[in-house]
């Protein structure tokens, strides 16, 4: 076992203070030993055991549930604390009633045991399942070792992404819930180690791989996610999350679609579309939304929207089927959402 | 002493070891207590072909608690490579600097704790001299050769090429199956302990005597100085059939440290340090008359193995004898790649080869416009088509008929895509299953005690199949006892020998041996009773006396309670040792088992008859009309396997096989990087197996069958047949749902888009 230090602060302020010790100050030569917040640990501890992540310090934020573990809903929207557990949000009556896509994205993720442990904050930050990334014995992985190359590009990449990829990395963002947050235009509440709070659009949390696939988010060093704010809209009620996978449960998406519709007499006033399973980061399909807005939603319109969503798809051999699967998934989700009682 | 009842063969009984298992009392190999063990962690190669130029071990040695690091440089000469159960040669590990495959053992780190050993293993730096590896079929550098007849046979009857050319209706197609790994829940652990010059090995095994014999040769020891212990096995499926390299090195490590050593490898190491099911390819040509009678059957197979091994499964030995056909030609090729040596995995030959044949048969049925079940009926042979021998029993069509009835097959609309439910396309498919009824020699000791209890000792293996219980049932049946009065000891080389628990041969082999020893007990009791001067049984014919419900009984209702009968036969306890040599094997075959060699009478190579188990499997699949994910809402399997010793555990075996079949057809595949020849999804998060949601209704029908020829108890074996027809039944159902014929497994979404 590689030694690491384990801290369990009792409050947000104490957690931030610990994080501050590990943040490089301008002009500081020594690279501080990395620290990570430990939430449910279902991704982080896994990565530590398989030798992919090596934090010197774990800051256990379980005690922060007091401050950031609530679910609150009113007419204007839904607030989810970062330490809410996946299972709690998935089973919450207001979420089930008014944000079905959120409830489904969580219910269909992982297993009950994992959902009981894992938090929403940790969930959105889960890392790719690219097997070349997850096994340090592979020498080429730009995400794990910048500049080393990408073994997946010509290797086993059936699960990897076709949207948002670069010539340096085709890793997929594997999660479900974050795609709904992106589609619904959610916002993210952050606290920097010095106590500065900021709220950013959730879509700005993750970065595309570009030339720096090892930098996955726009978080500042030591920044803590405290919660999510999802604005209510007619599309949040008429919404669903459709997840297509090889197994009927306990499997990551091969393709998924978030659909939220403001539908009036069969005409789309406003659509919110997200994609998952084949995207480099949580994905809002703006082009598909544009293709739907103002249209009478029928099969042809759904197909046109799906085509727009995958216009820029890039495939690499094994995953060549994914744009087609993604289009069909979106078409199915759109037709299903149009038929919903809402 | 109870009266009125005793346990009988064929009566369902819960596992006698069930309580121990669910309470954690059952000791698996790594649970066995040894004093102050050191812990080993394996370092495995990160390249698939080349040499180890050298190691840098300073950082690893500096980890606190590290005791020793074994590499080819310091222990290479201390052990030889293991002797596989099949296929001749295999790859080396620490014997040399050579790297034959990805994940090969190249060093063992020994430390005071598992954690220290693991940390140090991660710090071992290896300097490789890498060569370009060949991953699989079609990779540059892979070497193909025709498999010579020897361990396996080829069949040539009539002129298959001419008959095929002249056939009215033909199927000519190629099929493929993927690499698969067993992944039993119990990891591949080994613990070794020396006392003086004697070695005890705790390792889960399907053949403790085989493990001992190979290990003795590898370590140049007398087998009598090695004791192998394997009381409980947390899943095997073939993966613990032969010894693998790790065992000898753990023994060497324990000798060097003069202290017990325990190895618990990781899940991903389990993909490369033991065997697996290699990928296969097939070419099948079927010729038939318009009315469906086969006129030609050609089956050629290709199988991947390691560079030095000749391992192959040659399932053509089964596919040549399912259907009546005058012209048969089979051939098998081996393709050597830079891979670890494959080995047994549930129904090793039949799972891939019957997929090919039974999919081809479905294609033939479609070409003929014939119901697939009827096509099988038309081609039902009188005798074994490959050899002309009679079948000892053959219930393929009763299985098809009872399975079809339960499944509702006659409601099937034969046109593909014609059955639907909402957005889901519904498909129904079926396939035949077959597996040889094999049996090995076994020895057994039964001791009857004064309290009227029996102790049964046999080095059998309960690999989760329920062997403990089957043995107890057999002894209780034969001795007229209740299940609770029988104590079973198995899984160790201190016990009378039993063979490899594989090939669905074990229940037949061990239960017949137990029955024989029990018969010895009966004879001794009967002899003593009839020759006595007193007692109700005095003077009767000893052959007429039976043991039932706690008493020795004569024909006219005369009976004597067991303790009394026993007291007359032996002071204290009565002990009988017996060896059972199956029909057709020489008497010395039991000696081969004691020497750890394979000595099996196989269902397709007996002199007197061909002995096979048959089954029929029916599956419903649903495929979403748009997104094409495939689900299996129900499956029915009907099997006829002679005597069923314990219907409860038999049901589990069949059901487990069918569940695995769902995984094999739709989920399972070890992905290999084509350039590096390394396994990519070597963990059970990414190597998919079915979860509960994928397994809906599974129905098992046990078709009654009596076979007095196969062996005295009429047991045919059931461990493997449950998986055999599933691959084809599912692929045939997928065709029926979608009109797409998918000839390569696993069948996935992308195949149907
Ligand atoms: C077998 C398996 C199957 C799975 N299947 C699915 C699936 O189908 N769909 C799906 O969506 N997910 C799936 N998951 C992923 C699972 O949902 C995530 O592991 C989980 O949500 C992570 O949450 P956590 O609280 O355990 O995070 P942790 O593991 O504790 O943390 C993850 C990362 O987030 C950081 N972090 C956590 N909280 C904060 C915070 N408040 N502020 C800043 N940083 C923080 C940590 O430092 C760490 O880097 C699966 C996981 C497994 C193991
Ligand atoms: S796809 Fe990205 S994560 Fe995967 S190997 Fe390439 S660089 Fe690494």
Domain ranges of chain B: 18-25+439-594, 32-131+185-235+240-271, 156-179+276-438+606-752
Residue where the block lists tokens 């060549």: A320
**Nearest by Cα to A170 from A142, A147, A146:** A142
Task: Please give the positions of B annotated as active site.
Answer: 720
- For residue A301, pLDDT over 70 is answered with yes
B688 touches chain A (CB under 8 A): yes
Any ligand 2 atom below 6 A from CB of A280: no
**Residue B203 token pair:** 């390792």
Chain A interface disruption, residue of B118, B422, B621, B627, most A CBs within 10 A: B627
**Nearest by Cα to B670 from B261, B274, B168:** B274
**What separation in angstroms does the CA of B458 have from each of B451, B490, B570?**
21, 5, 22
Inspect the interface and report whether the beta carbons of B749 and A156 lie closer than 8 Å.
no
Nearest to A2 among B119, B675, B678 (CB): B119
Q: pLDDT tens digit string along B590-646? A: 999 999 999 999 999 999 999 999 999 999 999 999 999 999 999 999 999 999 999
Confidence of residue A25 (pLDDT cuts 50, 70, 90): low
Confidence of residue A335 (pLDDT cuts 50, 70, 90): very high
Strand pairing class (B442-448; B454-457): antiparallel
> What distance in Å separates the CA atoms of residue A326 and residue A323, rounded to the nearest whole number?
5
- What residue of B is the nearest CA neighbor of A326? B627
Are B525 and B575 contacting, i.e. CB atoms less than 8 angstroms apart?
Answer: no
From the CA of A146, the nearest ligand is 2
Using most ligand atoms within 8 A of CB, pick from B681, B684, B685 the residue to mutate for ligand 1. Answer: B685
> What distance in Å separates the CA atoms of residue B86 and residue B475, rounded to the nearest whole number?
33
Interface of B with A in 45-64 (CB under 8 A): 46
B189 CA to centre of ligand 1 in angstroms: 31
**Diameter of chain A measured on Cα atoms:** 63
pLDDT of amino acid A31: 58
Three-state SS at B203:
coil
**Nearest by Cα to B361 from B323, B400, B402:** B323
Nearest to A250 among B624, B676, B691 (CB): B691
Residue nearest to atom 6 of ligand 2 (CA): A150
Residue B498 bridge partners (DSSP): B442
Cis peptide before A145, with omega less than 30 degrees from 0?
no
Nearest to A154 among B629, B666, B675 (CB): B675
Residue nearest to atom 52 of ligand 1 (CA): A110
Q: At what angle do helices B208-219 and B246-257 cross, to 10 degrees?
A: 60
Domain B156-179+276-438+606-752 has CATH 3.30.365.10: yes
Residue nearest to atom 8 of ligand 2 (CA): A141
Q: How far is A172 from chain B (nearest CA, A)?
A: 14
**Residue A100 token pair:** 């079905």
Are B357 and B349 contacting, i.e. CB atoms less than 8 angstroms apart?
Answer: no
> What distance in Å separates the CA atoms of residue B400 and residue B733, rounded to the nearest whole number?
16
Q: pLDDT tens digit string along B33-44? A: 999 999 999 999
Are B237 and B185 contacting, i.e. CB atoms less than 8 angstroms apart?
Answer: no
Using most ligand atoms within 8 A of CB, pick from A126, A180, A217 the residue to mutate for ligand 1. Answer: A126
B626 touches chain A (CB under 8 A): yes
Nearest to A328 among B627, B676, B682 (CB): B627
**Residue A170 token pair:** 């085709």
Interior angle at CA A75, CA A121 and CA A120, nearest 5: 10
**What separation in angstroms does the CA of B702 have from each of B12, B14, B372, B463, B510?**
13, 18, 22, 22, 22
- What residue of A is the nearest CA neighbor of B622? A248
Inspect the interface and report whether the beta carbons of B694 and A2 lie closer than 8 Å.
no
Q: Which residues of B307-338 are buried (b: 16+ CB within 10 A; e: fewer)?
A: bbbbbbbbbbbbbbbbbbbebbbbbbebbbbb
> What distance in Å separates the CA atoms of residue A172 and residue A275, rounded to the nearest whole number?
11
Q: Which CATH class is domain B32-131+185-235+240-271?
A: alpha beta
> What distance in Å separates the CA atoms of residue A151 and residue A168, rounded to the nearest whole number?
10
Q: How far is B734 from chain A (nearest CA, A)?
A: 15
Q: Which residues of B touch A275 (CB under 8 A)?
A: none
- What residue of A is the nearest CA neighbor of B115? A1
Residue B105 bridge partners (DSSP): B44
Any ligand 2 atom below 6 A from CB of A12: no
A113 touches chain B (CB under 8 A): no
Q: What is the phi-psi region of residue B604: left when phi exceeds 0, alpha when psi lies from -120 to 50, beta otherwise? A: alpha
A250 touches chain B (CB under 8 A): yes
Inspect the interface and report whether the beta carbons of B628 and A158 lie closer than 8 Å.
no
> What distance in Å separates the CA atoms of residue B52 and residue A36, rounded to the nearest whole number?
37
Run of H or E including B750: helix B749-752
Cβ-Cβ contacts under 8 Å between A and B: the total is 88
Are A197 and A189 contacting, i.e. CB atoms less than 8 angstroms apart?
Answer: yes
**Nearest by Cα to B244 from B201, B282, B287, B303:** B201
Domain B18-25+439-594 has CATH 3.90.580.10: no
Its sign, for the CA torsion B100, B103, B105, B107, is positive
> Hey, do B18-25+439-594 and B32-131+185-235+240-271 end up sharing a CATH topology, with the first three levels equal?
no
B422 touches chain A (CB under 8 A): no
- Alpha helices of chain A — where are they, by DSSP H? 12-21, 44-49, 65-68, 86-91, 93-98, 100-107, 112-117, 120-124, 177-183, 234-237, 286-292, 299-309, 322-338
Residue A239 bridge partners (DSSP): A260
Confidence of residue A3 (pLDDT cuts 50, 70, 90): confident
A171 CA to centre of ligand 2 in angstroms: 5
For range A330-340, the mean pLDDT:
97
Q: Which residues of B472-493 are buried (b: 16+ CB within 10 A; e: fewer)?
A: bbbbbbbbbbbbebbebbbbbb
Low-confidence stretches of chain B (pLDDT < 50) are 1-3
Residue B630 bridge partners (DSSP): B623
What is the rounded average pLDDT for all residues in chain A?
95
Run of H or E including B22: helix B18-22
Are B60 and B109 contacting, i.e. CB atoms less than 8 angstroms apart?
Answer: yes
**Residue A83 token pair:** 């330490």
B628 touches chain A (CB under 8 A): yes
A43 CA to centre of ligand 1 in angstroms: 5
**Nearest by Cα to B435 from B242, B618, B639:** B639
Are B273 and B188 contacting, i.e. CB atoms less than 8 angstroms apart?
Answer: yes
Are B521 and B552 contacting, i.e. CB atoms less than 8 angstroms apart?
Answer: no
Q: How far is B299 from chain A (nearest CA, A)?
A: 30
Residue where the block lists tokens 């569940």: B659
Backbone φ and ψ for B609, nearest 5 degrees, come out as -170, 160
pLDDT of amino acid B4: 54
Q: For residue B555, count other CB atoms closer than 10 A to its CB.
A: 11
- Alpha helices of B408-536 — where are they, by DSSP H? 467-479, 506-530
Backbone φ and ψ for B451, nearest 5 degrees, come out as -80, 0
Q: For residue A75, count other CB atoms closer than 10 A to its CB.
A: 6
pLDDT of amino acid B649: 97
**Residue B45 token pair:** 């190669």
Three-state SS at B646:
coil
Closest ligand 1 atom to Cα of A178 = 11
Q: How far is B563 from chain A (nearest CA, A)?
A: 55
**Diameter of chain B measured on Cα atoms:** 86
Q: For residue B216, count other CB atoms closer than 10 A to its CB.
A: 18
**Residue B154 token pair:** 């080829």
Q: Which residues of B touch A157 (CB under 8 A)?
A: none
Are B248 and B198 contacting, i.e. CB atoms less than 8 angstroms apart?
Answer: no
A131 CA to centre of ligand 2 in angstroms: 8
Q: Which residues of A touch B688 (CB under 8 A)?
A: 246-247, 251
B20 touches chain A (CB under 8 A): no
For residue B575, the Cα-to-chain-centroid distance in whole angstroms is 32
Inspect the interface and report whether the beta carbons of B749 and A246 lie closer than 8 Å.
yes
Q: At what angle do helices B506-530 and B467-479 cross, to 10 degrees?
A: 20
Any ligand 2 atom below 6 A from CB of A78: no
Closest ligand 2 atom to Cα of A157 = 1
Residue where the block lists tokens 């040549």: B320
Query: Can you list the positions of beta strands (E) in B611-681?
Result: 612-624, 630-640
């Amino acid at each position: 076992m590689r030694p690491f230090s384990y801290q369990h602060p009792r409050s947000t302020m104490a957690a931030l203070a610990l994080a501050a010790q590990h943040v490089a100050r301008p002009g500081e030569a020594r690279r501080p030993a990395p620290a990570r917040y430990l939430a449910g640990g279902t991704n982080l501890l896994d990565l530590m055991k398989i030798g992919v992540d090596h934090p010197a310090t774990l800051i256990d934020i379980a005690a922060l549930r007091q401050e950031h573990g609530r679910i609150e809903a009113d007419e204007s929207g839904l607030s989810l604390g970062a330490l809410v557990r996946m299972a709690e949000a998935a089973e919450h009556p207001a979420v089930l009633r008014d944000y079905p896509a959120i409830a489904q994205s969580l219910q269909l993720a992982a297993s009950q045991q994992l959902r009981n442990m894992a938090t929403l904050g940790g969930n959105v930050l889960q890392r790719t399942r690219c097997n070349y990334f997850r096994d340090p014995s592979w020498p080429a992985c730009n995400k794990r070792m910048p500049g080393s190359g990408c073994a997946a590009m010509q290797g086993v990449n059936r699960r990897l992404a076709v949207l948002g990829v670069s010539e340096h990395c085709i890793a997929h963002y594997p999660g479900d819930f974050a795609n709904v947050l992106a589609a619904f235009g959610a916002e993210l509440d952050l606290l920097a180690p010095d106590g500065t709070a900021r709220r950013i659009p959730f879509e700005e949390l993750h970065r595309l791989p570009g030339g720096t696939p090892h930098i996955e988010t726009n978080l500042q060093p030591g920044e803590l996610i405290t919660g999510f704010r999802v604005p209510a809209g007619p599309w949040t009620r008429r919404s669903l999350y459709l997840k297509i996978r090889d197994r009927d449960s306990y499997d990551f998406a091969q393709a998924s679609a978030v659909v939220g519709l403001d539908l009036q007499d069969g005409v789309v006033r406003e659509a919110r579309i997200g994609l998952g399973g084949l995207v480099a980061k949580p994905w809002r399909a703006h082009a598909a939304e544009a293709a739907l807005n103002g249209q009478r939603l029928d099969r042809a319109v759904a197909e046109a929207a799906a085509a727009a969503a995958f216009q820029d798809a890039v495939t690499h051999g094994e995953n060549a089927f994914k744009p087609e699967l993604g289009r069909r998934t979106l078409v199915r989700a759109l037709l299903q959402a149009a038929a919903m009682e809402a | 002493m109870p009266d009125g009842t005793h346990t009988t063969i064929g009566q369902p009984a819960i596992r006698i070891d069930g309580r121990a298992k669910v309470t954690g009392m059952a000791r698996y190999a790594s649970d066995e207590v040894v004093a102050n063990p050191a812990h080993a962690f394996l370092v495995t190669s990160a390249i698939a072909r080349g040499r180890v130029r050298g190691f840098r071990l300073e950082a690893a040695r500096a980890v606190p608690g590290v005791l020793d690091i074994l590499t080819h440089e310091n222990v290479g000469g201390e052990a030889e490579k293991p002797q596989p159960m099949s296929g001749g040669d295999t790859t080396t590990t620490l014997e040399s600097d050579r790297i034959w495959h990805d994940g090969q053992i190249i060093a063992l780190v020994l430390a005071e704790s598992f954690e220290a050993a693991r940390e140090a293993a991660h710090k071992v730096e290896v300097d490789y001299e890498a060569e370009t590896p060949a991953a699989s079929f079609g990779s540059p550098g892979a070497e193909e050769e025709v498999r010579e007849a020897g361990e396996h046979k080829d069949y040539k009857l009539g002129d298959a090429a001419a008959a095929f050319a002249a056939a009215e209706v033909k199927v000519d197609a190629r099929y493929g199956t993927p690499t698969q790994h067993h992944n039993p829940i119990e990891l591949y652990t080994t613990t070794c302990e020396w006392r003086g010059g004697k070695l005890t090995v705790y390792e889960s095994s399907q053949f403790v005597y085989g493990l001992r014999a190979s290990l003795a040769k590898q370590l140049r020891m007398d087998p009598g100085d090695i004791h192998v212990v394997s009381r409980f096995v947390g899943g095997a499926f073939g993966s613990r059939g032969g010894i693998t390299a790790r065992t000898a090195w753990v023994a060497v490590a324990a000798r060097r440290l003069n202290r017990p050593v325990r190895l618990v490898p990781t899940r991903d190491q389990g993909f490369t340090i033991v065997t697996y099911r290699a990928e296969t390819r097939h070419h099948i040509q079927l010729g038939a008359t318009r009315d469906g009678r086969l006129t030609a059957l050609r089956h050629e197979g290709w199988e991947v193995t390691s560079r030095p091994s000749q391992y192959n499964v040659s399932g053509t030995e089964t596919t040549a004898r399912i259907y009546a056909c005058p012209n048969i030609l089979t051939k098998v090729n081996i393709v050597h790649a830079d891979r670890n040596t494959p080995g047994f995995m549930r129904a090793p030959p039949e799972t891939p080869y019957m997929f090919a044949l039974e999919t081809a048969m479905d294609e033939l049925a479609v070409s003929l416009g014939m119901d697939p079940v009827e096509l099988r009926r038309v081609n039902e042979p009188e005798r074994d088509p490959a050899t002309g021998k009679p079948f000892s029993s053959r219930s393929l069509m009763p299985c098809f008929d009872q399975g079809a009835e339960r499944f509702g097959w006659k409601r099937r609309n034969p046109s593909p895509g014609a059955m639907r439910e909402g957005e889901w396309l519904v498909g129904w498919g079926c396939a035949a299953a077959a597996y040889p009824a094999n049996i090995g020699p076994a020895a057994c000791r039964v001791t009857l005690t004064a309290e009227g209890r029996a102790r049964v000792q046999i080095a059998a293996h309960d690999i989760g199949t329920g062997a403990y219980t089957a043995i107890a049932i057999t002894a209780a049946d034969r001795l007229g006892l209740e299940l609770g009065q029988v104590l079973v000891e198995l899984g160790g080389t201190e016990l009378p020998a039993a063979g490899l628990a594989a090939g669905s041969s074990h229940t037949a082999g061990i239960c017949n041996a137990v029955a024989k020893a029990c018969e010895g007990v009966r004879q001794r009791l009967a002899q003593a009773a009839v020759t006595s001067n007193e007692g109700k049984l005095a003077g009767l014919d000893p052959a007429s006396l039976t043991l039932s419900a706690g008493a020795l009984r004569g024909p006219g209702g005369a009976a004597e309670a067991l303790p009394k009968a026993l007291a007359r036969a032996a002071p204290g306890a009565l002990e009988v040792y017996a060896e059972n040599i199956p029909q057709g094997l020489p008497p010395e075959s039991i000696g081969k088992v004691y020497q750890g060699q394979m000595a099996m009478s196989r269902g397709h190579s007996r002199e007197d008859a061909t002995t096979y188990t048959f089954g029929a499997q029916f599956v419903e699949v649903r495929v979403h009309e748009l997104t094409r994910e495939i689900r299996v809402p129900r499956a029915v399997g009907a099997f006829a396997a002679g005597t069923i010793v314990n219907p409860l555990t038999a049901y589990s075996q069949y059901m487990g096989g069918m569940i695995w079949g769902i995984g094999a057809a739709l989920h399972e595949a070890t992905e290999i990087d084509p350039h590096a020849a390394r396994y990519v999804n070597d963990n059970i998060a990414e190597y998919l197996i079915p979860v509960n949601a994928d397994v809906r209704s599974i129905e098992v029908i046990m078709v009654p069958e009596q076979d007095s020829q196969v062996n005295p108890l009429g047991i045919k074996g059931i461990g493997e047949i449950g998986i055999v027809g599933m691959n084809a039944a599912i692929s045939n159902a997928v065709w029926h749902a979608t009109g797409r014929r998918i000839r390569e497994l696993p069948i996935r979404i992308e195949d149907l888009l």
